[in-house]
Structure 1
Amino acid sequence: MEVVILSGKEEAGALAADAIEALFRAKPDGVLGLATGSSPLPIYDELARRHQEQGLSFTRAQGFALDEYVGLVSGHPQSYREVLRREFTERVDIDPDRVHAPDGTATDIGQACAAYEAAIKAAGGVDVQILGIGTDGHIGFNEPVSSLASRTRIKTLTEQTRQDNARFFDAAEEVPHHVVTQGLGTIMEARHILLIATGAQKAGAVQALVEGPVSALCPASVLQLHPHVTVLIDSASAGQLKLTEYYRHTWANKPHWQGL
């Protein structure tokens, strides 16, 4: 796990975009794992800028969303498919039919989850997965005590997560109780994972992710077992880490040819 402490969300977004651009320059038909929430927005802003100003193309790319609310009607402004459309896909040249999301409106949720797993496998797996992290350490919507080997499935949100997400809705009671999410086992199959977190409110979760034990109480801690994870954070979200000077030293002395 590589921990990079940066000046803020814009620098983190630019560095993540560097890795994603490198993927699509080398592999135009690469597969990108798409996250929602506030954390990934600087990445999408930077990718959109590079598309518009530098010609970065996504015409052959595929995208797979991490999760989706259960029960929101098609086109609901807080549906994650709709959020990704606004924040990323309509700002670049990716084919909307090649951007996939779990089906939170399916009559048979279990079957829809199995189909989503099969679609990821058929695409060749995710090359780069974007992640944020919740204040309780969840990634995707794998809440605390999620199985570390879990696959795409329905989950019940904690009240903390519902309160954290209430800012996106008109009222807290409108936040759904259930979601469909890629499992931790699914996420761990991505070839490169980029996790971005900023702000003091994420400091406890970042410390548990990076330096805590691997535990279902902090689902993100399973990433310690992945061979290629990049954690992009700012000074505020790094505030509870014990080895900040080591992380800064490692980044400052990293060979330029190594990349992320």
Structure 2
Amino acid sequence: MNIMTFNTNEELDQIAAGIFASLIQTKPSAVLGLATGSTPIGIYQELIRLNQKGYVSFKNVRTYNLDEYVGLPEGHKETYRAFMDNQLFNHVDIDKANTHVPNGMADDLEAACKEYDEALAKESIDLQILGIGHNGHIAFNEPNSQLHAGTHIVTLKEDTRQANARFFNSIDEVPTHAVTMGIGSILKAKMIMLVVRGKEKAEIVHRALTGPVTTEVPASLLQTHPNVVVLLDKEASTKFHG
């Protein structure tokens, strides 16, 4: 596991985007695992810049997102599909048909989960970007006595809903359920990039990467993966320095 610390978010974003760009330059048909939330926004902005300058093309890239809320209608500004369109896809030369986000509005959510897993089974994600939740969740795989390997429906923990409430008018509008890629699918990625920002994440990322491997801290399972790069801003890295 390679852990890097950055003094500025700009440096972190440039290095992270550079890792993505190098992959795509050497493998134009790369398969990317993507994430939402505030953590990757600067990285996506840097990728847009590199694309618009002609340094990297997304024409043959395929993407799979980690998760989606259940029950938010298509076009709702807080769906993760809308997030990806607004933060990345609408600004680069990607074929939208090659971008995949779980279906949180399916009539049969179980069938939709199975369909997403079947699509993932035919692919091999080259690079998966992850953030980490305050309780150690990755994607929406919440702490539990056991974790799902495949795509599944999850009831969101109250602290996760509270953390996401800033994107909605009130906590009442935050969905109670989500569809999420499972831990097994995430760990199948050839390379995983964990990005963590902010002092409020310092304790949990240190626990996840140096503590026992346990389903009660889902991100700790990253310790079992052979190719993980961790990018920390200065504040998130404080527990790693004594």
Q: Name the TM tier (shorter chain).
A: over 0.9
What residue identity is the alignment partner of 2:124? G
Determine the structure 1 residue equivalent to 2:160.
Answer: 161
DSSP 3-state at the match of 2:236: coil
2:20 is aligned with 1:20: yes
What residue identity is the alignment partner of 2:232? I
What residue identity is the alignment partner of 1:170? N
Determine the structure 2 residue equivalent to 1:232.
Answer: 231
Deviation at 1:149, TM superposition (A): 5.2
Measured against aligned partners, the alpha-carbon deviations of 1:89-120 in whole angstroms (never above 9, x if no partner) come to 11110011110011101111111111101112
Deviation at 1:36, TM superposition (A): 0.2
What residue identity is the alignment partner of 1:90? N
In structure 2, what is the Cα distance between the partners aligned to 1:192 and 1:92?
23
DSSP 3-state at the match of 2:23: helix
2:205 is aligned with 1:212: no
In structure 1, what is the Cα distance between the partners aligned to 2:14 and 2:136?
24
Deviation at 1:84, TM superposition (A): 0.4
Identity among equivalent positions (%) equals 45
Deviation at 1:55, TM superposition (A): 3.5
User: Which blocks of at least 5 consecutive residues in structure 1 are unaligned?
Assistant: 246-260
DSSP 3-state at the match of 1:233: strand
Measured against aligned partners, the alpha-carbon deviations of 1:211-240 in whole angstroms (never above 9, x if no partner) come to 111011110000000000011001211122
Cα 1:146–1:127 shift into 2, 3 Å: farther
Measured against aligned partners, the alpha-carbon deviations of 1:40-73 in whole angstroms (never above 9, x if no partner) come to 1111011001011234100000000100000000
User: How many residues in Structure 1 have an aligned counterpart in Structure 2?
Assistant: 242
Determine the structure 2 residue equivalent to 1:249.
Answer: none
2:81 is aligned with 1:112: no
Determine the structure 2 residue equivalent to 1:82.
Answer: 82
RMSD: 1.2
TM-score, length-scaled by structure 2:
0.97
Determine the structure 1 residue equivalent to 2:199.
Answer: 200
Cα 1:239–1:91 shift into 2, 3 Å: same
In structure 1, what is the Cα distance between the partners aligned to 2:8 and 2:129?
17
Determine the structure 1 residue equivalent to 2:101.
Answer: 101
List structure 1 runs of 4+ shifted beyond 4 angstroms.
none
